[in-house]
Structures are given as structure tokens and as C-alpha cells.
Amino acid sequence: MGKTKVMIFRGGGGRAKKVDWGWKSKTVEEVKEFNYLEIRFQRNGNMAGHIKERIKKANVTLNQVWGIGERKFKTDFSTRCTDVWGRTMGL
């Protein structure tokens, strides 16, 4: 049924019952997780997957910015830190 899906949030405990969801004589898929506005929702309410994904994106961005600083200030570590983080690192 296209983009229409259903997800049941469970707080835990017990085994999930198999339920067939439908609308207008069509079957609706039940999913374990989905993304909405770049937030990953999981059936058990856990945000660990979302947090891991955000950390990966932040690390990629930080590595790109650090590489720019590395090329710009090859040997001057203090200036590179100031350029990347906007403050001195006490060096």
C-alpha cells in the first residue's frame, strides 16, 4: 500500500502478537522502525539507533573540517584548533 505503514510502540514485556492491518481492503505493512523528520523511531522507544546515526554524521563533518584545518595550517596545531573550534586549546 505505497508509503502507508503502521508501527506499534511497545514498552517491553511479552511477545508481539501478529496483527494484520488493513485499510480500504488493502494490507498495511507493520514496521519495526521508521524515520520521520530525520529522527529514527524504534518500536521499543529506544533512541540508540538515532544517536549512533547522529554521532556518525557528526564525526564525518568534524573529519572534513579538521582536514581543511590540516591543509591550511600544516604544522601549527594551536592555530588549527582555534580555526576548527573557535578557541585555543590551552597550548
Task: Report the predicted TM-score, pTM, of the whole model to 2 decimal places.
Answer: 0.50
Residue 53 has pLDDT above 80, yes or no: yes
- The total domain count for the chain is 2
63: its cell numbers: 573529519
Which of 50, 66, 40 lies closest to 31, judged by CA?
Answer: 40
Do residue 37 and residue 71 come from a single domain? no
Residue 66 lies in domain: 47-90
Do residue 29 and residue 68 come from a single domain? no
Strands (E), the chain: 5-6, 21-23, 26-30, 33-36, 39-42
The overall average pLDDT reported for the chain is 77
42: its cell numbers: 524504534
What was the pLDDT predicted at 55?
Answer: 92
pLDDT tens across 1-34, in order?
Answer: 677 888 877 776 667 778 888 888 888 888 888 8
Do residue 40 and residue 21 come from a single domain? yes
Q: Looking at residues 37-58, what average pLDDT do you find? A: 84
Do residue 19 and residue 7 come from a single domain? yes
